[in-house]
Amino acid sequence: MYVFSRKAWYCMVLTILYGAVLLFTNFKYSHYSKYALTSLTRQLGCVCPPKVPPVNDEDRMDQLTPIVFQGEGDPLFHKDDDDTVARQLKQSVRVLCYVMTDQTNLDTKTIHVKNTWTKRCNKVLFISSVTNSTFPTVGVDVGEGRHHLTGKTMKAFQYIYQHHLDDADWFLKADDDTYVILENLRHLLEPYSPKEAVYFGHHFTPYVKQGYHSGGAGYVLSKEALRRLVINGIPSGKCTIDGYGEDRHMGGCMEYVGVRIGNSTDSLGRSRFHCFAPWKHVMGGYPEWYIRYDANGAKYGQDSVSDFAISFHYVPPGFMYVLEYLVYQLRPYGITMADTE
């Protein structure tokens, strides 16, 4: 028993000594390595890559040069596709697209709208505060900023009525971060007459008895609605000519001149005009104000968005091209899509 305890004692002492040697050696060489590396970097400068903040994908999409997107002008682009119905609708349901923008956005946002969905409008106008003959834009001589959006919109529709009334039957207002699928818009409008006093968009409920349509999601006026706005509404003084909240002021004016809210949901009650980017309407996470305002219950999820969606808002410039690809090129092999809802 005594011998066993003695051997155990010797083993414990040797273990402690061995561990101390290893600890000292590790400290010595790690310290030396640190010293050597510090010395080397002082002589040569830091060889490590600088620390930079991570780049968000959406930020990257906000900073890009215009892209030449293959499309309608290329005779080989999807040459076997049959777009007969879409071409016929383009002739029978004529849409003028008015894109609200400003001078500072032309090269960063508006150019990408110009390169993508607006090519499918029958007529497109980019309306700003000042005229730019190169882009081009139409200037309406109203100050920039959110507090002038109503005045800018009213002046824009006055200009359209005076100069382009016969160029279209329907008149779409959209922002320079809105993406619109024109074929689906014409599909919605086809059963209606432009002689009806009606306008379509994403329906909100407050402020106006019949509600109003979201400005960001885009809204479209019939020719009769445009006529009443310019002839009866604006001169009456009942339509706010300037100020914040362009879409609700437009809604109040539409109600005053007898233009009714049109139902833009599909036959299954799913939304077609959208106030946010596609992922927001699929995944949810709406702000509180939207939940209170939305006339259809602020639904989200794949089953709440129409197969014939018309618009999305807050679309980053780069994602304009992504949507062009997803809508007009991507297809699942072996599946023929039905035209019904």
Instruction: Determine the Cα–Cα distance for residues 21 and 28; give it in Å rounded to an integer.
Output: 10
Sign, Cα dihedral of 20, 25, 28, 31: negative
| Whole-number pLDDT of residue 142 | 81
Does 254 have pLDDT greater than 70? yes
Phi, psi of 198 (to 5 degrees): -145, 150
| Whole-number pLDDT of residue 82 | 87
* One-letter amino acid for residue 130 of the chain: V
Say which residues have a Cβ less than 8 Å from residue 121's Cβ, sequence separation at least 6. Answer: 95, 96, 97, 172, 182
Does 72 have pLDDT greater than 70? no
Helical pair 246-256 and 149-164, crossing angle rounded to 10 deg: 50
Residue appearing with tokens 């019939």? 222
Instruction: Determine the Cα–Cα distance for residues 229 and 257; give it in Å rounded to an integer.
Output: 7
User: pLDDT grade, residue 146 (50/70/90)?
Assistant: confident
Q: pLDDT by residue (tens digit) across 30-64?
A: 444 444 334 433 433 444 444 444 445 444 555 55
| Whole-number pLDDT of residue 49 | 41
Q: Is residue 213 in a domain?
A: yes
Count of structural domains, the chain: 1
Say how many Å lie between the first and final Cα of the chain, rounded: 91
Average pLDDT over residues 278-303: 96
Instruction: Determine the Cα–Cα distance for residues 245 and 216; give it in Å rounded to an integer.
Output: 11
Average pLDDT over residues 193-202: 98
Q: Is residue 223 in a domain?
A: yes
Does 242 have pLDDT greater than 90? no
| Whole-number pLDDT of residue 21 | 47
Q: Domain holding 205: CATH number?
A: 3.90.550
Q: Is residue 158 in a domain?
A: yes
Average pLDDT over residues 314-320: 96
Instruction: Determine the Cα–Cα distance for residues 72 and 74; give it in Å rounded to an integer.
Output: 6
Query: Residue 275 is part of which domain span?
Result: 87-328
| Whole-number pLDDT of residue 148 | 84
pTM of the model: 0.79
CA distances from 265 to 23, 278, 299, 303, 306 (A): 73, 16, 12, 13, 8
Instruction: Determine the Cα–Cα distance for residues 232 and 21; give it in Å rounded to an integer.
Output: 96
| Whole-number pLDDT of residue 44 | 37
Residue appearing with tokens 């390169």? 115
Q: Is residue 270 in a domain?
A: yes
